[in-house]
Amino acid sequence: MRFAVKLLLLGFATLLAAHADPTTLKVYPEKTRQTIQGMGCGAIYYEGHITSFAARNNEKLQRQLYDDLFSEVRTDFLQLMIRPDHEPQNDNDDPYLPKFKPEWFDYCKNNIAICEEAKKRQPQMKIYATLYTPPAWMKTNNDAGGGGKERATIKPGVELELAEYCWAFLAWMQRNGQPVRFLSIANEPDWGHTQPGYCLTAESHAELFATVARYLDEMERRHPEVPKPILVGPNVLSARSAADHWIAPLMRETPNALGVVGSHDYDQRGDRLERLVKAAGGKPVWVTEWCVNREDRSPELLYSATKYWLAMTEAFNSGVHAWMAYDWAYPPRQGGEALIHIDWGNAYTRTKIYYGFKQWCSGLVPGMKNVAIELSGPCASDIGKPGAKAAAFVSADGRKLVVHVAAFQDQSCDFQIEVPQAFAGRPVKRLRTSADENAATLPDLMFKDGTLTDPLPLRSMTTYVIEK
């Protein structure tokens, strides 16, 4: 008897599920919000892995990798790491008369090669450089590491030397045909870590930022051949902390020098990005780094890929203008830090993170605008919770609509999209990344009575592109 009742209840639940209201996304292309400045990714810790196939004279595989990085994925920013290597000892006592030896820049050959190949394939690519740490002789711990709980910082009186160190990198890259467009003077200075870095307080960062800005102004006057970069700050780990503590001192010290408000997004509490946008006071806001820094045993890192989709969706819906993945390449690992895994000089593997990022970037170009949406129904959920997520963008001329819908959950979802009539009469192109698909092109669909119905598979992202 109990078994029969269970069967009856199960059948009733299945019947209810079959007739449940679908999750509905309403898109309002006429309600535009911030203008998008683009997408980016970094060549940070493992630049040598990216160029490793050329190092083993495997030019065919090297070209293939560059194509997968920069032809197949449309990005606008390439972030580089300024390493602590190009001034092993102080060049001289005058920071305004740099005397750096060419051999000190040997490590930059990988950066230059990557930038050259990126721009061959994406001519609009802009280089964004970040100083992770100055040389050890400038540091309180005499080491490249951040010092952990001891929170290593720079020694008193070396502020101009640090500014000179940054400028020397800019000059070297310019001399090699790769001008740096954007610069951050520190990487996560709010975090007491042991990786290459140095720690600052919000106030000391603002003071150093102002010193570097004034130095760059003077060096632009003396060396107009080296373009002055746009400064990005504070580039801290926590967007919430940036909004609440770091932006105000920067605005006080040097409001005109801060060109872009940038922060990482690892402290994902509540409305942290909305707060950052508000604190920015109209300046562009970028997420300058994000990844999944944890073990992931899912097939092809599918779990990590869904976390990327969630992070990108929340960022743009919160008012962010540009978003950057942490790193293009890492050695093979069970973690979501990088899009591609490279076995140095031998082979490489594209993860689900790569395919989802490729799909997201494919239709999102600078000048598009984020637009208002309404998401309701059984699969819709709050920020940070499992469920369906969506973000929509319209082209500057209003003729192209791109909608990304991600299923950050372990069950499929009955889904439908409603758009204005001007778009509803057009065929809908679709791309999907899921457990079984890698940025796959799906058959076109058509709206019926202003509604598009398309089941959303579990742990997947579907991109819909409609053009008038």
Is residue 12 assigned to a domain? no
> Is residue 159 located within the same domain as residue 264?
yes
**Comparing 2 with 295, which gets the higher pLDDT?**
295
Q: Residues of the chain with pLDDT > 70: what percent?
A: 95
- pLDDT beyond 80 at 7: no
Strand order in the sheet with 428-433: 440-445, 428-433, 460-467, 400-408, 387-394, 369-376, 23-35, 415-418, 451-453
In a domain, 1, yes or no: no
Question: What's the CATH code of the domain at 455?
Answer: 2.60.40.1180
What's residue 410's pLDDT? 82
Do 269 and 157 lie in one domain? The reply is: yes
Same domain, yes or no: 245 and 208? yes
421 shares a domain with 357? no
Q: Are residues 346 and 406 in the same domain?
A: no
Report d(CA 36, CA 371) in Å as an integer.
11
Statement: residue 409 has pLDDT above 90: no
Is 408 or 49 the better-scoring residue by pLDDT?
Answer: 49
Q: Give, in order, the Cα–Cα distances in Å from 28 to each of 33, 91, 372, 402, 461.
A: 11, 58, 5, 12, 20
Q: Based on the domain organization, do 417 and 351 belong to the same domain?
A: no
Average pLDDT over residues 24-45: 97
What is the pLDDT, as a whole number, of residue 55? 97
Please say if the pLDDT value at position 194 is more than 70. Answer: yes
Domain count, the chain: 2
Q: Is residue 10 part of a domain?
A: no
Same domain, residue pair 91 and 167? yes
Instruction: Identify the pLDDT of residue 384.
Output: 61
Output phi, psi for 187, to 5 deg: -125, 115
Whole-number mean pLDDT of the chain? 94
pLDDT of residue 12: 36
Residue 69: pLDDT band by 50, 70, 90 thresholds? very high
Say whether both 308 and 434 belong to one domain: no
DSSP state of 3: H
In a domain, 52, yes or no: yes
Q: Could you tell me if 257 and 374 lie in one domain? A: no
Contacts of 135 (CB under 8 A, 6+ apart): 84, 85, 87, 88, 144, 165
Question: Looking at residues 130-146, what average pLDDT do you find?
Answer: 98
198 and 247 together in one domain:
yes
Does one domain contain both 232 and 348?
A: yes
**With contact defined as beta carbons under 8 Å apart, do 339 and 287 qualify?**
no
pLDDT at 14: 37
pLDDT digits (tens, 9 = 90+) for 331-347: 999 999 999 999 999 99
> Where does the pLDDT of residue 386 fall: very low under 50, low under 70, confident under 90, or very high at 90 and above?
confident
Burial grade of 354 (CB within 10 A; 0-12, 13-18, 19 or more): buried
> Is there a single domain that holds both residue 311 and residue 385?
no
Domain holding 305: CATH number? 3.20.20.80
Least confident piece of the model among 15-24, 187-196, 438-447: 15-24
Residues 225-272 have pLDDT tens digits of 999 999 999 999 999 999 999 999 999 988 899 999 999 999 998 899
Would 452 be classed as within a structural domain?
yes
> Which residues lie closer than 8 Å to 410 by C-beta, 6 or more apart?
386, 458, 459
CA pair distance 145, 27, nearest whole angstrom:
47
Q: Which band of pLDDT confidence, cut at 50, 70 and 90, is reported for residue 387?
A: confident
Look at residues 314, 330, 364 and tell me which one is the last residue of a structural domain.
Answer: 364
Does residue 6 lie in a domain region?
A: no
At residue 19 the predicted structure's pLDDT band, cuts being 50, 70 and 90, is very low
pLDDT confidence of residue 383: 65
- Indicate whether 456 belongs to any domain: yes
Residue numbers of the domain that contains 220: 39-364
The domain boundary residue, chosen from 364, 380, 408: 364
DSSP state of 242: I
Q: Which of 317, 340, 364 is the last residue of a domain?
A: 364
For the segment 440-458, the average pLDDT, to the nearest whole number, is 95
Q: Among residues of the chain, what percentage have pLDDT more than 90?
A: 90
| 11 in any annotated domain | no
SS3 letters across 46-76: CHHHHCHHHHCCCHHHHHHHHHHHHHCCCCC
Q: How far apart are CA 273 and CA 62, in angstroms?
A: 38
